[in-house]
């Protein structure tokens, strides 16, 4: 599985997601511009000593991701989707895309792929989950569907 963070802003969230990737074998994709340096001490602290277990890709823009990963299922996580994250039949090489903390994914991207947009159910008054929590919820649902292949 692949976790794609489009323009992440908070190093602690990205560090937590890197730790999630390390624990699950997911690859991490960071799409520029980043709101921090990948040398950031908060980023490294959140990932603790797991960074050596994470395959990290840095992309100049999201178009680069689309070009490099043609043929992969790509799911766009947003609070604006009709389809729930648990409605998807995930495959081992799927791309799970998350937007930046303050704004989510760009509307034009969501408009371009409405059938591939998914959301995590929550009450109406809740704006959204923390980015690293949302990534964990979706990744573990996808892995559950695959019987946690490769995990013990």
Q: Does residue 21 belong to any structural domain of this protein?
A: yes
Percentage of the residues of the chain whose pLDDT score is greater than 70: 93
- At 45, the pLDDT band (50, 70, 90 cuts) reads low
**Number of domains into which the chain is organized:** 1
pLDDT at position 81: 96
Q: Does residue 151 belong to any structural domain of this protein?
A: no
Whole-structure pTM value: 0.94
CATH of the domain at 110: 3.40.1280.10
Q: Does residue 152 belong to any structural domain of this protein?
A: no
Q: Does residue 30 belong to any structural domain of this protein?
A: yes
Q: Where do runs of H (alpha helix) occur along 25-61?
A: 41-47
Q: Does residue 150 belong to any structural domain of this protein?
A: no
Percentage of the residues of the chain whose pLDDT score is greater than 90: 84
Q: Does residue 128 belong to any structural domain of this protein?
A: yes
What is the residue-averaged pLDDT of the chain? 93
* Secondary structure letter of residue 82 according to DSSP: S
Span 96-144, pLDDT tens digits: 999 999 999 999 999 999 999 999 999 999 989 999 999 999 999 999 9
pLDDT at position 38: 78
Domain of residue 65 covers 2-145
Mark the binding-site residues for S-adenosyl-L-methionine, compressed into ranges: 99, 120, 128
Element of type H or E holding 27: strand 27-31
**Choice between 51 and 143, residue whose per-residue pLDDT is larger:** 143
Q: Does residue 19 belong to any structural domain of this protein?
A: yes
Mark the binding-site residues, compressed into ranges: 99, 120, 128
φ, ψ (nearest 5 deg) of residue 138: -70, -45
pLDDT at position 47: 56
Q: Does residue 117 belong to any structural domain of this protein?
A: yes
């Amino acid at each position: 599985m692949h976790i794609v963070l489009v323009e992440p802003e908070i190093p602690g969230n990205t560090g937590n997601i890197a730790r999630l990737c390390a624990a699950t074998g997911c690859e991490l994709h960071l799409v520029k511009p980043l709101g921090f340096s990948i040398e950031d001490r908060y980023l490294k602290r959140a990932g603790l000593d797991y960074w050596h277990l994470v395959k990290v890709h840095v992309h100049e823009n999201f178009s680069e991701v689309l070009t490099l990963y043609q043929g992969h299922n790509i799911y766009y996580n947003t609070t604006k989707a009709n389809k729930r994250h648990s409605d998807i039949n995930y495959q081992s090489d799927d791309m799970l895309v998350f937007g930046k903390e303050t704004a989510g994914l760009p509307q034009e991207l969501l408009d371009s792929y409405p059938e591939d947009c998914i959301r995590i159910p929550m009450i109406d008054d809740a704006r959204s989950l923390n980015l690293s929590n949302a990534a964990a919820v979706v990744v573990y649902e996808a892995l559950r569907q695959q019987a946690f292949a490769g995990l013990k």
